[in-house]
Structure 1
Amino acid sequence: MTSAAPFPFARLSRRPDVEAPGLVAADAADRLILDESAGARAAAAPGEVAVIGDAYGALALAAAWEGGTGIRVHQDALLGERALARNAAALDLTDRVASLPLGREVVAKARVVLLRLPRSLDALEDVAALIAAHAQPDVVVFAGGRLKHMGLGMNEVLAQYFGQLDVTLARQKSRVLIARRPHDGHDPVPAQGDADGLALRAFGGAFAGARLDIGTRLLLAHLPGDPAGGTADDPLIDFACGTGAVAARLALSSPARRVYASDQSAAAVASARATAEANGVADRVEVTRDDLLGARADASASFIALNPPFHSGAAVTDRLAPRMFADAARVLRPGGELWCVWNSGLRYRGALERIVGPTRQVARDAKFTVTMSTRR
């Protein structure tokens, strides 16, 4: 049943993700996607609407509020998925939405897809190809974003998999691309790369793709040759693992040791598992999608490696790393080591000293610093 009241965007929360001035749960692009898709959604039957890339639930929950049922949703970030669940419960819409992995099930037989455009063209290609492969032939995709994050490359990617692409007028610095007539779809396949003796695999949207970013490269060059830990109860940990380059290196360098890798990004987790498989160490590398190291017990690890992100969605924030430092400190045993690489301009050493323990600089280049902090 459609609600007569307008959707209460102001009631949406980012929690459990970080909240701060300038970090919002919904924006003008969400509203424009919903407005442009209103007629198509009204004509869709239950189960024919899919949502991909919804930050904190604005798209899926507004569609449900307006009468949609059986709405399937994929969000790459676990915190976004959890925020959607919280917001759905607060609005009494839990039974109308379902979170699913990025695969056939989320778009199968969909006639309407609401898509927040990812910043990565590789991620957009994975999504576009998947929709073209499994949605209905008459599917209409409403793909929107903020103008500052959009480029003509997005049109080109969508044109590879859809025979018709229309562009809406801009509104409040946002725009929607409307794609129809899908063709030549396929399931996502990870990109392949090799760097410094590592085989790298990356699904679209995974940080740095199938190559080593310069921060990770510096960290890899200075990791200890014989770190403590590596047992089933005390694995070497690659925290915020991305494509799993550090996890694979740790496993290759320590053939008898166990490695645990964690990331909240679904694309990162799939990529890290593929990287471990490509390097022949999948039997010793466990990869988990998790918020921080939530699945790990207190004082249970001797060694953690971390390359902390500094983006929450498209927004730059310095609030992510201290939260990660605190959870690493929780999981480390007294005397355990946190090896961290960070952009030198962020000046994290003071936070590491305060949150984890005594910290020394291991290496520094023009952009990045590697530190080792000992859990006090």
Structure 2
Amino acid sequence: MPDFSFDRLRRFPDVEADNLFAVDASDRLILDEAAGVLAEAGSGEVVVIEDRYGALTLGAAALAGARGIRVHQDVLSGELALTLNAADAGLADSYRSLILGEELLTNARVVLIQLPRSLAALDEFADAIRRFAAPDVVVIAGGRIKHMTPTMNAVLRQHFGELQVSSARQKSRVLRAAAPTASATQPTVSTWPNSVEHADLGLTICAHGAAFAGATVDIGTRYLLEFLDRMKTDARSAIDLGCGTGVLAATLARRRPALRVTATDQSAAAVASARATMVANALADRVTVVRDDALQSQPDASAELIVLNPPFHIGSSVHAGIALKLFEDAGRVLQPGGELWSVWNTHLGYRPALTRLVGPTHQVGRNAKFTVTVSTGR
């Protein structure tokens, strides 16, 4: 058996800090509750969804002997962390990473899930399992009780005929679902992404379940949109960093037809959503959408204009680390004299960090909740 310890797991290249962890009690509980079905599963019959940094995948491989594990992680930094942790544990050949869909789930008999915060994401996961997994599939989905709601039970009951709720352990709980439903009233093809027409913006926004804000426009992005016409008017190219569903990228491309726009996000759901948004608005030939960990695939001093509405949380933890990581990468990629336009919750006070990591920063707008700044590359 490979030398495996949960204590060796790291979050890297995601943000690491003393109060951020690569594994928690819910990972251990999911594996314990799944021990029986994992022991009976054959090679290639185990699927793991939303494994944060590899605890579920590598735990199933090392502790239960699972092989041919198929894994879907929405966040690229988690996928990269799994790669590094698997290599460290000698388990690199025990799994493969796939997008959410048929190849991931066909004939799966055991599915382990770290419950997402988004009910829409859970619905999309459960719908895909119902359509593609084996009829005798067992789903073991768990999380921290403080992040679980009774509505999660209702979502799973829409797709499965059996649902059991475990006892609590170390402030964690597991939902065990089985007997995927099949009826004439349920679609046999995916209904995702959702799409909503926003007449005020002249855009149709498309969103998969795990995409931030869904097919709505979050209020920070809506405020930053007010400044688009002031953003480096001579720029020939722009990057929408952390693009989500692609609202900023699509609006930039539409208002400034000569601009080449790249939209980048580390979320697989966001990237799929943004691509669908570009197709829906006839912009697919003018906006390139890429999945990236911050701007790691972009060369130094290559961007004339970057727009950013940074997240203020990492998973379920409120933490400035992810915003600082994005600022630092934007500072590296921005050309001297290029502009980074950011919108952020005023109480976060990001201006000193932007000045340090990017360049001279000044406020160009402020309302009751948000501040908009422009930083000039050094």
Aligned residue pairs: how many?
370
Following the alignment from structure 2 to structure 1, what is the Cα–Cα distance between the partners of residues 303 and 224?
19
Deviation (angstroms), 1:72: 0.5
Task: State the match for 2:108 in structure 1.
Answer: 110
Pick one of 16, 20, 31 that aligns with 2:13.
16
Counterpart amino acid of residue 189 in structure 1: W
CA contact (8 A) 1:223 1:339 kept: no
Following the alignment from structure 2 to structure 1, what is the Cα–Cα distance between the partners of residues 234 and 242?
19
Task: State the match for 2:154 in structure 1.
Answer: 156
CA contact (8 A) 1:201 1:274 kept: yes
The 3 A distance-change label for structure 1 pair 178 and 186 is: farther
Task: State the match for 1:28 in structure 2.
Answer: 25
**CA shift digits 1:285-316 (9 cap, x unpaired):** 00000011111111111100001112211111
Following the alignment from structure 2 to structure 1, what is the Cα–Cα distance between the partners of residues 44 and 234?
48
| TM-score (structure 1 length as normaliser) | 0.96
Counterpart amino acid of residue 61 in structure 1: L
1:177-326 matches, within 5 Å, as 177-183=175-181, 184=186, 186-187=189-190, 189-195=192-198, 196-225=201-230, 227-228=232-233, 231=236, 235-326=237-328
Q: Which moved more, 1:310-319 or 1:104-113?
A: 310-319
**CA shift digits 1:36-87 (9 cap, x unpaired):** 0000000001000000010000000010002110000000000000000000
- Which residues of structure 2 form unaligned runs of 5+? none
Deviation (angstroms), 1:229: 5.9
Following the alignment from structure 2 to structure 1, what is the Cα–Cα distance between the partners of residues 99 and 235?
30
Following the alignment from structure 1 to structure 2, what is the Cα–Cα distance between the partners of residues 245 and 172?
40
CA contact (8 A) 1:103 1:187 kept: no
RMSD across aligned positions (CA): 1.3
Deviation (angstroms), 1:228: 4.5
Aligned to 1:224, the other structure's residue is in SS state helix
Are residues 1:61 and 2:66 paired?
Answer: no
1:337-376 matches, within 5 Å, as 337-376=339-378
Following the alignment from structure 1 to structure 2, what is the Cα–Cα distance between the partners of residues 243 and 127?
18
Percent of pairs identical after alignment?
58
1:114-193 matches, within 5 Å, as 114-183=112-181, 184=186, 186-187=189-190, 189-193=192-196
Task: State the match for 2:88 in structure 1.
Answer: 90
Deviation (angstroms), 1:317: 0.6
CA contact (8 A) 1:109 1:134 kept: yes
**CA shift digits 1:127-149 (9 cap, x unpaired):** 00000000000000001000000
- Which residues of structure 1 form unaligned runs of 5+? none
Aligned to 2:158, the other structure's residue is in SS state helix
**CA shift digits 1:181-210 (9 cap, x unpaired):** 102464351111233222111100111110
CA contact (8 A) 1:325 1:356 kept: yes
Following the alignment from structure 1 to structure 2, what is the Cα–Cα distance between the partners of residues 163 and 225?
55
Deviation (angstroms), 1:249: 0.2
CA contact (8 A) 1:77 1:264 kept: yes
| TM-score (structure 2 length as normaliser) | 0.95
